[in-house]
């Protein structure tokens, strides 16, 4: 990258708890793996003097004889579903400093032929290191803008697009993840976590329009040779005939099974499990271990996966955030019961706290509904999120929560590679 302006992380003094919830957020049992959670600010823009960076998502790139390099994709947000070109930034000291974000040319804006004034962009990008090829696969989806806003009237066919960061640090041209079986006007893996199998295949889930407003979700297994991502096989669809249906699925692998968590529009989120990432069992609404459902207002959830336990990171309805748009603050996590497919209530705690006056000035509370989870090392995982205030000129900071483990996470990259 040409610019090497480093940004020092500003740490806060810990995590704030909402009143009345301390019984849930207090010290956990001796079985708990989470030793500490700390909040850090990467880029500031609550005062309007900087850039509101959104969709910050990281992956770890191994390096011989050194700690893995952290690489992040991110893009500016200036309005509802209106994003600037995709940028990237790296940290070589475990997230303490980050390079000034630089654009990825192949994920920038481009005019649409035959549609004067319409531009095609890319959003919802997720980068993942692919060990078999030594590359980074950055997968998002295309989107159309007219003027300074999302174009509601002429969104053309939309699908997954990707670019690849080669071992030499260069980025390839943009490609489309082709799916011959796709029906309707959209299919996407936007914002979705995916799983890279030992043989190099990539397991993900697709949300797609089958000709009706309610989207469906299916599992997919893809091949990737370092240049081209191809769908090999897809499984039967999960469905929900409420509003836009099932959206933004994320998958993880835990104890040789594939778990998917799905955003929905019926005030719930859903989970399902599969042996192969294709054939999923019946979807189940997220509940606590006593059967009480979680209120989730059309917002994504993501997995935090440790070799000893599975966690979910999410937003939900609470007495502290009833006036907040879609209850998108604070960010919570809780341990998952992988057999009963529910959350263990006593393990819940806040990852990133609600900031602002949620009662008297809810528009001044920064939203945190679009976030990502990264296993950084055996001792630490990150949750990264771009805050924003929709009614306050899209102002907000870019945050990183460090989750320190009390036991090593065998699924994370080693601190130093000796290859």
Cβ-Cβ contacts under 8 Å for 204 (sequence gap 6 or more): 139, 189, 192, 194, 195, 219, 220, 222, 251
Name the average pLDDT for the chain: 91
Would residue 74 count as lying in a domain?
yes
pLDDT (0 to 100) of residue 417: 52
3 pLDDT more than 90: no
Task: Return the C-alpha torsion angle 370, 279, 311, 305, nearest 10.
Answer: -90
DSSP sequence for 225-288: -SS-EEEEEE-PPB---STTBEEEEEEEEETTEEEEEEEESSS-EEEEEESSSSSB---EE-BB
Poorest-pLDDT segment among 106-115, 145-154, 225-234, 322-331: 145-154
My answer on whether omega of the bond before 210 falls inside 30° of 0, hence cis, is no
Q: What is the pTM of this model?
A: 0.92
29 pLDDT more than 70: no
Q: How sure is the predictor about 19, in pLDDT bands with cuts at 50, 70 and 90?
A: very low
Mean pLDDT computed over 380-393: 97
- The span from the CA of 71 to the CA of 92, in Å, is 9
266 pLDDT more than 90: yes
- 326: containing domain: 7-405
What would the pLDDT profile of 309-333 be if each residue is shown by its tens digit? 999 999 999 999 999 999 999 999 9
Are 133 and 225 in contact, with CB atoms under 8 Å apart? yes
pLDDT (0 to 100) of residue 1: 43
Q: How sure is the predictor about 236, in pLDDT bands with cuts at 50, 70 and 90?
A: very high
Q: How sure is the predictor about 64, in pLDDT bands with cuts at 50, 70 and 90?
A: confident
Would residue 414 count as lying in a domain?
no
pLDDT (0 to 100) of residue 11: 36
Poorest-pLDDT segment among 26-35, 172-181, 225-234: 26-35
pLDDT (0 to 100) of residue 229: 98
pLDDT (0 to 100) of residue 180: 85
Mean pLDDT computed over 392-399: 98
378 pLDDT more than 60: yes
Would residue 132 count as lying in a domain?
yes
| Length of the chain as a residue count | 419
Q: How sure is the predictor about 416, in pLDDT bands with cuts at 50, 70 and 90?
A: low
Domains held by the chain: number = 1
pLDDT (0 to 100) of residue 182: 66
Would residue 2 count as lying in a domain?
no
212 pLDDT more than 90: no
pLDDT (0 to 100) of residue 12: 34
pLDDT (0 to 100) of residue 415: 63
Would residue 244 count as lying in a domain?
yes
Mean pLDDT computed over 412-417: 70
What is the distance of C-alpha 114 from the center of its chain?
34
272 pLDDT more than 70: yes
23 pLDDT more than 60: no
What is the distance of C-alpha 62 from the center of its chain?
21
Poorest-pLDDT segment among 4-18, 165-179, 308-322: 4-18
Q: What is the CATH number of the domain that holds 101?
A: 2.120.10.10
Would residue 410 count as lying in a domain?
no
Poorest-pLDDT segment among 20-24, 336-340, 398-402: 20-24
Would residue 86 count as lying in a domain?
yes
pLDDT (0 to 100) of residue 5: 39
Q: How sure is the predictor about 148, in pLDDT bands with cuts at 50, 70 and 90?
A: confident
Residue 329 belongs to what H/E stretch?
none
Are 17 and 52 in contact, with CB atoms under 8 Å apart? no
Would residue 315 count as lying in a domain?
yes
8 pLDDT more than 80: no
13 pLDDT more than 80: no
């Amino acid at each position: 990258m040409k610019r090497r302006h480093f940004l020092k992380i500003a740490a806060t003094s810990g995590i704030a708890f909402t009143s009345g919830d301390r019984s849930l957020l207090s010290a956990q049992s001796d079985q708990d793996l989470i030793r500490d959670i700390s909040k850090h600010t990467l880029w500031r823009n609550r005062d309007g003097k900087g850039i509101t960076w959104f969709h910050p998502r990281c992956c770890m790139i191994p390096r011989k004889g050194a700690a893995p390099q952290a690489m992040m994709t991110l893009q500016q947000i200036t309005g509802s579903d209106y994003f600037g070109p995709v940028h990237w930034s790296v940290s070589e000291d475990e997230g303490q400093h980050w390079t000034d974000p630089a654009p990825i040319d192949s994920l920038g804006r481009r005019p649409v032929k035959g549609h004067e004034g319409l531009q095609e962009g890319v959003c919802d990008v997720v980068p993942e290191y692919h060990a078999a090829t030594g590359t980074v696969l950055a997968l998002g989806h295309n989107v159309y803008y007219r003027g300074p806003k999302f174009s509601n009237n002429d969104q053309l066919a939309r699908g997954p697009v990707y670019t690849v960061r080669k071992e030499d640090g260069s980025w390839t041209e943009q490609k489309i993840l082709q799916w011959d079986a796709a029906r309707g006007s959209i299919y996407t893996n936007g914002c979705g976590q995916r799983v890279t199998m030992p043989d190099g295949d990539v397991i993900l889930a697709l949300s797609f329009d089958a000709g009706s407003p309610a989207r469906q979700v299916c599992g997919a297994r893809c091949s990737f040779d370092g240049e081209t991502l191809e769908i090999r096989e897809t499984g039967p669809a999960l469905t929900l005939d409420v509003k836009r249906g099932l959206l933004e699925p994320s998958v993880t692998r835990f104890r040789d099974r594939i778990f998917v968590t799905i955003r929905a529009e019926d005030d719930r989120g859903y989970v399902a499990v599969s042996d192969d990432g294709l054939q999923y069992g019946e979807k189940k609404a997220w509940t606590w271990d006593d059967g009480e459902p979680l209120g989730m207002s059309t917002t994504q959830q993501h997995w935090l996966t440790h070799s000893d336990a599975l966690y979910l990171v999410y937003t939900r309805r609470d007495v502290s955030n009833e006036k907040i748009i879609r209850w998108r603050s604070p960010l919570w996590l809780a341990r998952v019961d992988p057999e009963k497919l529910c959350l263990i209530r006593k393990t819940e705690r806040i990852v990133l706290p609600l900031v602002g006056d949620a009662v008297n000035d809810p528009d001044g509370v920064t939203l945190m509904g679009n976030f990502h989870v990264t296993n950084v090392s055996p001792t630490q995982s990150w949750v990264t999120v771009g805050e924003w205030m929709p009614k306050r000129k899209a102002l907000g900071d870019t945050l990183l929560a460090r989750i320190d483990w009390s036991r090593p996470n065998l699924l994370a990259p080693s601190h130093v590679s000796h290859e």
